[in-house]
Amino acid sequence: MIPVSSFNNQRVALFGLGGSGLATAQALAMGGAEVVAWDDNPASVEKAKAQNINCIDLRNADWSDLAALVLAPGVPLTHPAPHWTVALAHENDVPIIGDVELFQRALKASGTNAKLIAITGTNGKSTTTALTAHMLKTAGLYVQMGGNIGTAVLLLDPPKDNMVNVVECSSYQFDLAPGLSPDVGMLLNLTPDHLDRHGTMENYAEVKSRLVAKSQQAIISTDDTYCHQIIDQLTGKTQVQQISTRNPVSRGFWADTGRITKCDADGQTSLANLKTALALPGNHNAQNALAACAACVAVGLDADDIQRIPKLPMRMRLRPHFPVLTKSIGYWAALQSLAGLSLWRPYLAISRRLISLVKPHRISLAL
């Protein structure tokens, strides 16, 4: 766990006592903060009390002496309406932040050269995060992985010299992280999603753009309109590496007939062969591999380092009757993954029709 000392000897409110909320409360307390926590779910409050977390109904708290409200990512910030804790924080001029913001502050305060690679996008975040962490670790770097992919960021080990933190971030998380400024920020793609949270596609894209806008190095796909607009906005302001599975790029990486190629002022350098080096079927996974290779180069690996990395573990494999994905994913992403396996293409039209009738939020294909 990472002790968060940025609120040492200060009183902090925390709302949302799920897994990351409990970890955040403990990290703040370890760093010397006085934490007052609450949740709308009585069972979550009781669980927190059992872990010696100070719980009081924040409706009854004295907001005048609170240094911050630390909000769980899933709690409504603006849409469809601000949560009641958000309204109270605004009324009392209390800053609202989340665990990723606390992680960034702890990283900066650590006095180490530990790096942060932060990865976002509508689809492919988890795959790209896992690929990037695997490639860096296999290349011999000191790597830990967390965030939206599984381990809460404050449950990671404290920063150390030469450490690389590979973190998957959702728009919910860096909506609460105004100070997030990763060494490498990655935006994979943008399609309509979470509009109940952000209101409009334009708002959603603007929130996503914050990650790369404050990055020391930005890796952004050119393959959709919104990402392309963000690249245009950042030109001359941020160092941007473009990635594309469709067209060559002047500065960045692209997938050409199954090969990942780095493009810069010195020409083109082949980095990997998707058909033999990476067990990743489908065009969408070519983008994930492109992004992972770009991140590796951004933290110091060269073509020789990448070409020496062993074959990556498969994200999916076939059982006798159905392909198996390694995690729960959005239903359209699931169909996109199945499209990478030619065996299942004849069934996609039927699958799309069935899913459109059922409209599940997420589907999980068992391991």
Q: Are residues 78 and 212 in the same domain?
A: no
- Of residues 276 and 20, more confidence is placed in 20
pLDDT interval class at 363 (50, 70, 90): very low
Q: Is residue 1 part of a domain?
A: no
Global pTM reads 0.80
Number of domains in the chain: 3
Does the structure show a pLDDT above 50 at 347? no
Residues 90 and 105 in one domain: no
Cα–Cα dist 334/267, whole Å: 36
Of 183 and 282, the structure prediction assigns the larger pLDDT to 183
77 and 50 in one domain? Answer: yes
Side-chain half-sphere exposure of 218, counting CA atoms within 13 A:
28
Residue 349 is assigned to a structural domain of this protein:
yes
Question: What pLDDT score was predicted for residue 107?
Answer: 95
The set of residues, in sequence order, having a beta carbon less than 8 Å from that of 358 and lying 6+ positions away, is none
Tokens of 279: 């067990």
Alpha helices per DSSP H over 51-170: 84-91, 99-109, 125-138
- Residues 42 and 142 grouped into a single domain: no
User: Is 2 part of any domain?
Assistant: no
| Domain ranges, residue 341 | 316-358
pLDDT higher than 50, residue 254: yes
The yes-or-no verdict on residue 66 having pLDDT over 50 is yes
Bond preceding residue 310 cis, omega within 30 of 0:
no
Give yes or no for residue 366 having a pLDDT over 50: no
Q: Residues 336, 257: one domain? A: no
Domain assignment of residue 366, yes or no = no
Lowest-confidence pick of 158-167, 207-216, 264-273: 264-273
Rounded to whole angstroms, how far apart are CA atoms 145 and 159? 12
pLDDT at 68: 98
Task: Give tens-digit pLDDT for 327-344.
Answer: 444 433 444 443 443 333
> In the listed set 97, 116, 136, which residue is the last one of a domain according to the structure?
97
Q: Can you tell me the mean pLDDT for 296-314?
A: 77
Task: Read off the pLDDT of each residue in 74-87 and give the average, rounded to a whole number.
Answer: 89
Task: Tell me which H or E stretch contains 316.
Answer: strand 316-318
DSSP 8-state class, residue 61: S
Closest CA to 72 of 180, 152, 181, 129: 152
Angle, in degrees to the nearest 10, between helices 125-138 and 283-298: 50
pLDDT band of 71, cuts 50, 70, 90: very high
- 3-class SS letters over 169-211: CCHHHHCCCCCCCCCEEEECCCCCCCHHHHCCHHHHHHHHHHH
Residues 158 and 261 in one domain: yes
Looking at per-residue pLDDT, the higher value among 191 and 212 belongs to 212
**Beta-strand pair 11-15/66-71:** parallel
* Helical (H) or strand (E) element with 347: none
Asked which of 63, 80, 97 is the last residue of a domain, the reply is 97
Same domain, residue pair 78 and 62: yes
Q: What is the pLDDT of residue 211?
A: 84
In a domain, 367, yes or no: no
Q: What is the CATH number of the domain that holds 264?
A: 3.40.1190.10
Q: Are 274 and 338 members of one domain?
A: no
Q: Which residues are CB-contacts of 304 (< 8 A; sequence separation ≥ 6)?
A: none
- Tell me, yes or no, whether 298 and 322 share the same domain: no
- What average pLDDT does the structure give for the chain? 81
- Determine the Cα–Cα distance for residues 262 and 242; give it in Å rounded to an integer: 10
3-state helix vs strand vs coil in the chain, percent to 5: 40, 20, 40
Q: Tell me: the pLDDT tens digits for 96-145? A: 999 999 999 999 999 999 999 999 888 778 888 988 999 899 899 999 99
pLDDT in the model for residue 165: 97
* Predicted pLDDT at 308: 77
Q: Are residues 129 and 278 in the same domain?
A: yes
Q: Which residue carries 């603006």 as its tokens? A: 78
Round to whole Å and give the CA distance between 162 and 158. 12
**Residues 188-211: what's their mean pLDDT?**
73
| One domain for residues 105 and 207 | yes
Q: Does residue 181 sit in the same domain as residue 329?
A: no
Highest mean pLDDT among 69-78, 166-175, 246-255: 69-78
Lowest mean pLDDT among 80-84, 88-92, 104-108, 170-174: 170-174
Residue 206 amino acid letter: E
Give the model's confidence band at 276: pLDDT under 50 very low, under 70 low, under 90 confident, else very high: low
Q: For the domain that residue 28 is a member of, what is the CATH number?
A: 3.40.50.720
**37, 71, 97: which is the final residue of a domain?**
97
